A and B are shown apart, each in its own frame.
Chain A
């Protein structure tokens, strides 16, 4: 069970010109246990890549194979069922809320996939608990709760569909540092609890270094790097990707320069702190 891209091309055609968003992308993503960060500059094809995964976009050439479901699909094949397998959370997902109460909105996804009402409610409550929304919020209107809670509700709406793979398009955009941390810890928790594959689009290299296991770098519609984050950050020609280094590496490099603490790659703040404390004792 996996998501496989084979020589996938995708272009957006305008009136006068066409933009090649993806140029012959080959990719394989396991159905469970992966935590992937997709990074790249604006317009490098990240959003296109993830929209191809649940059939919102269909490749112009090449094949996307999602859990045995081929895209482009045959004529009378329903793409809709695929959307349940790959849960896609868009940028600013809070705008997709529309129901009377938060609970109803979370139930919307499972109900669309022909789950019974009771079943849908069960799942909605479960998802709400997972993202940390309490009961009195579930009963209120989704337009009367705070921005952070709205985003949680929207994400719960996707989680309630119980997708095999969770795809997040810049989920921390527009959040303050604390909200960002909480949000990311939430995804980490979901990942650890359910072993679901999580695919994260982000510009923030700190998030990549702290949370991701695997990194895919996109540039101009081509995959220029695909491997573990350690491989990426330790690469000699890391600068050629025009990505910034994560804070932890910057701090360690600075410390080596200033106080002669030996440089060693650390990717989370916890391990960085540990390393510094250790170094102090020696």
Chain B
């Protein structure tokens, strides 16, 4: 049970791993801001800027020594949403007068028959998707199928509406732009969690929030809460696992059951876990007090971070990128 890793930190020895968490966080903020400052336009300067930012991000992945599959697996949760937006954007974006068709118009017939076929495809997809290994590819095939039935089924079968799928270059570029930007955001944020330990991350957040002390914001307490929460996630997971096994031994089948059973299953899991966590919290607060912890009192650190040259350089480079893009946006 010692294998539970919070976050997805990949221990390697690279300059990204060694970077001071404070500067890493700041640099991340600058990079994210740069990505969002670039306007979505189809003229070449904008595309080149986004392209070079993407290139920089790819370089970051390469030099971080993190396996590329780890970064790619971060795309998985948003893949569905991305494809969806991409498809919507392609077809429904209002293009300017100069837009050119990429492929000839595809006539689509929305008929009662094709509607039925689409519902069948959806049902088939929902029923079979749990047996398919490459879910995403399967999903794409199914989406393609939805349009294919509209194209190939004859018009005469109960026509509701005729329409045309038009693929313009401008719409394609814009949707690609949008998707690429989101992928870049994911790359950057996963690189942060992949190369920074949670404790370091916590430290970084704490020191970046320090200015808030001026308005009496309890930064130390917040940081302590954050680190305790992170510390207790694996412990609680372990406890939950134990309770789950104990209830499974009493006949709870966590895999199936009707809604009513499902509620009971959750209750049988949640109540014990709540009680255990309250108990733990009480023990912990006593243990902390016994060792002299006072809320809001000044605390010292075992590890003091020292700013090194790479930290400064990364900060300067990222802020320069941001400034350049902002200036470019104002001038153009």
Contact = CB atoms under 8 A, between A and B. Distances in A.
B252 A93 contact: no
Contacts, number: 62
A157 B245 CA distance: 14
A66 to B, nearest CB: 13
B250 A108 contact: yes
Nearest to A88: B249
B242 A90 contact: yes
Interface string A100-142: 0000000011001100000000000000000000000000000
Interface residues of A, number: 28
Nearest to A14: B3
A112 B5 contact: no
Interface string B135-157: 00000000000000000000000
B268 interface: yes
A263 interface: no
B246 interface: yes
Nearest to B251: A112
B247 interface: yes
Interface in A71-115: 78, 80, 83-84, 87-90, 93, 95-98, 108-109, 112-113
B267 interface: yes
A108 B247 CA distance: 9
Contacts of B267: 98
A9 interface: no
Interface string A48-88: 00010010100000000000000000000010100110011
Contact of A98 (B5, B239, B251, B268): B268
Given A80-B253, A90-B242, A96 B272 contact: yes
Contacts of B270: 98
Interface size class of chain B, counting residues whose CB lies under 8 Å from the partner chain:
20 to 34
A112 B256 CA distance: 12
B259 interface: no
Contact of B268 (A12, A16, A108): A108
A56 B249 contact: yes
A259 interface: no
A158 B272 contact: no
B281 to A, nearest CB: 15
A84 B276 CA distance: 26
B243 interface: yes
Contacts of B248: 56, 83
A243 to B, nearest CB: 25
Contacts of A113: 251
Nearest to B11: A16
A233 to B, nearest CB: 32
Contacts of B309: none
Contacts of B297: none
B246 A90 contact: yes
B251 to A, nearest CB: 3
Contacts of A249: none
A161 interface: yes
Given A87-B249, A158-B250, 5 more contacts: A78-B253, A80-B251, A83-B250, A97-B272, A161-B250
19 contacts: A12-B3, A15-B5, A56-B245, A80-B251, A83-B248, A83-B251, A87-B249, A88-B249, A89-B249, A90-B245, A90-B246, A90-B249, A95-B243, A96-B247, A97-B272, A98-B272, A109-B251, A112-B251, A143-B275
In order of increasing CB-CB distance, the 8 nearest A-B pairs are A112-B251, A14-B3, A98-B271, A96-B246, A109-B250, A88-B249, A90-B246, A113-B251
